[in-house]
Amino acid sequence: MAQLPEEHFMDTAQRLDSDSIIANGSGHEQYLTFMLAGEEYGVDILRVQEIKGWDSATRIPNTPDYVQGVINLRGTIVPIIDLRMRFNLEKLEYGPTTVVVVLKVESENKHRTMGIVVDGVSDVYSISADELKSAPEFGDDVNAEFVKGLATIDEKMVIILNIDKLLNSRELNVLDSAANER
């Protein structure tokens, strides 16, 4: 079961190599994309520390339910956030392609390492700044804050996420207290 995702990221890693050779223009940034409920999301590839298969996490009591818990990443305690639950999407049983993307997050001048659970990694794209369109107003929906922009690749829309905003500790605290009040 754990074999399949490994192959999957070997695949990605190879593509990642070839892409980095192709990408040479200034203003082009590379994004790692992953699938979540049929949509493709992207994060800045320089923030991706590693991609690993899903393994059980230790639950942390009294935290919002999208905090899956903490795992041991070579001696460091790393919290894992389920992105489907974070975005209020329908819950999906973890399967063979379910992976954890470990990201380096900057918040309040502090570096944190956090993992996000996604349905599966997809591709690496080079996207220039002007290809990135700002997202339309979503109204009061807090989720809009996490979106850095939208890009169109092969007629498909890719949602580029601002992970610093998404995985901000303050954000977690706010939601935590909101969850407690309920």
Partner 1 sequence: MSIDLSQFKQTFIEESLEGLDIMESTLLNLDVGEADLEAINTIFRAAHSIKGGSGTFGFNDIASFTHVLETLLDQTRAGERDVTAPAIELLLASVDCLREMINALQDEGATYDEEQVASVQEKLEIMLNGDKESNTESPAAAGSTAASEKNPTTTSGWLIKFAPHPDMLRTGNDPVLMFRELEGLGSLAVDVDTKVLPGFENLLAEDAYLSWEIRLTADVAKDQVEEIFSWVDDECELEITALAPAGDTAEDEVVVEPEPQPVNTDVKATPEKKAAPAATKKVAKKRSTSTEATSIRVGTDKVDALINLVGELVITQSMLSQLGEEFDMGKIEKLRNGLAQLERNTREMQENVLRIRMLPISFSFNRFPRLVHDLTQKMGKKVDLKMSGEQTELDKTVMEKIGDPLVHLVRNALDHGIESPEERIAAGKDPVGTLLLNAYHKGGNIIIEISDDGAGINKQRVLDKAVQSGIINSPDDISDDAQVFDLIFAAGFSTADVVSDVSGRGVGMDVVKKNIKALGGAIEITSQEGKGSTFSIRLPLTLAILDGQLVRVGEEVYIIPLISIVESLQIDKKSVNRLAGCSEVYRLRDDYISIIRLYSLFGAKPDSVDLEKGLLVVVEGDGQKVGLFVDDLLGQQQVVIKSLESNFKQVDGVSGATILGDGTVALIMDIGGLIDLSNTLQRDSSDGAVA
Binding site residues, partner 1, CB under 8 A: 56-63, 69-72, 75-79, 112-114, 169, 172-173, 176
Nearer to partner 1, 81 or 124 (CB): 81
Q: In three state form, how does the secondary structure of 33-71 look?
A: EEEECCEEEEEEHHHEEEEEECCCCECCCCCCCCEEEEE
Sign of CA dihedral 51, 112, 158, 69: positive
Q: How far is the CB of 135 from partner 1 (least distance, A)?
A: 28
Residue 48 class from Cβ within 10 Å (0-12 exposed, 13-18 middle, 19+ buried)?
Answer: buried
Q: How far is the CB of 181 from partner 1 (least distance, A)?
A: 10
Q: How far is the CB of 176 from partner 1 (least distance, A)?
A: 8
Q: How far is the CB of 111 from partner 1 (least distance, A)?
A: 9
Under DSSP, is residue 136 helix (H, G, I), strand (E, B) or coil? coil
Q: Which residues contact 7 (CB under 8 A, 6 or more apart)?
A: none
Nearer to partner 1, 63 or 162 (CB): 63
Nearer to partner 1, 5 or 79 (CB): 79
Nearer to partner 1, 39 or 171 (CB): 171
